[in-house]
Amino acid sequence: MNNEILTLQVGKTGILTGNEFWKSLVREKNLLSDFSLGKNSPTNDNVFFEESNESFFIPRTIIFDLSERDFNYIMKSNYSKMYDKNRHFILNKNTGNSWLKGYYEGISNCNLVDNILRKRIEKMNSVKYFNVFNSINGGTGAGLSSYLIEYIRNNYPKSFINCCSIFPDLYGNTQVTFQPYNSVLSIAWQGLYCDSNIFFQNHAIENLLTKNQINNELSFRKVNYIIGKTISIIMNTLNHNFTLETLISPLIVNPYLNLFFSTINIDILLSKLRKKKTFYD
């Protein structure tokens, strides 16, 4: 399969939105509760998953975080079997919500980063595509992810890097003092080293949920669910032997320019959610 994709979930937002993305793919793949193949599961779908020695499927992903809290949260869920702590980059560090400290932690632990990435890549038939979940707000999501995409571009120059990034609150309702600083530097790095960037904004999605009257109680989980579901729909075409370039090339006016910024129309998804009995069906 030529469409093998390695996903990176960076920081709190990257972990949680990426987790919703994987949950959506598990449902689409019709995996059983033990993540083995069901009767109606496709047998050749190894684009996002890899088969373990125990014959169950786990996401081809690496989690990068400088705190164990959010990783421990998903490890307590029903989807904990999808993740192996020994195959991820988890440290107990404090970036102080600073891009510079997050980037510096990547440099300081470059050998560990290299070792983790290479071990996962060696199990792939070919390394062509990287999919990154992150936020451009905090120190880890902005700074560490900037180091990672720069590392990937320098070591795998022919690979295609796509970033699914969460924009900070544009209305100033944030406790992150360095938010403008983090955002500017993160966008600059993604513009330099990524082939495409898909941005979401939490406040905008919350407004859409309220406008469509899907549920009166808003939560970050619902926003993360919308983001994860949207990305899984976009990426679903890759399960049918399409390449990532083929998937987004119609959106690019000039094929020699990178697709720096993309926006997603999720009105159709929201209209379907209105018809469901529960939000997460």
Name which of 14-18, 116-120, 216-220 the model is least confident about: 216-220
Q: Which of 87-91, 124-128, 149-153, 224-228 is predicted most confidently?
A: 149-153
Name which of 41-55, 115-129, 183-197 the model is least confident about: 41-55
Residues 6+ apart with CB under 8 A from 93: 66, 67, 105
User: In sequence order, which ranges of 194-264 are alpha helices (DSSP H)?
Assistant: 202-211, 220-235, 244-248
pTM of the model: 0.83
How crowded is residue 218: how many other Cβ atoms within 10 Å of its Cβ?
15
* pLDDT for residue 16: 92
**Helices 110-122 + 145-155 axis angle, to 10:** 60
* pLDDT for residue 256: 43
Once rounded to an integer, what is the mean pLDDT over residues 26-33?
76
Residue 24 has pLDDT above 60, yes or no: yes
State the Cα–Cα distance between residues 67 and 92, nearest whole angstrom: 5
* pLDDT for residue 115: 94
* pLDDT for residue 154: 95
State the Cα–Cα distance between residues 26 and 219, nearest whole angstrom: 22
Q: What whole-number percentage of the chain has pLDDT above 90? A: 28
Once rounded to an integer, what is the mean pLDDT over residues 150-178?
81
Q: How confident is the model at residue 64 (pLDDT cuts 50, 70, 90)?
A: very high
Over residues 222-233, the pLDDT tens digits come to: 888 888 888 888
Once rounded to an integer, what is the mean pLDDT over residues 11-28?
89
Once rounded to an integer, what is the mean pLDDT over residues 236-253?
56
Once rounded to an integer, what is the mean pLDDT over residues 118-133?
88
* pLDDT for residue 193: 93
Rama region for 241: left / alpha / beta (φ>0; ψ in -120 to 50; rest): left
* pLDDT for residue 230: 84
Residue 174 has pLDDT above 70, yes or no: no
Once rounded to an integer, what is the mean pLDDT over residues 263-269?
50
Mean pLDDT of the residues in the chain: 78
Closest CA to 16 of 113, 91, 83: 83
* pLDDT for residue 246: 57
Name which of 38-42, 125-129, 181-185, 259-263 the model is least confident about: 259-263
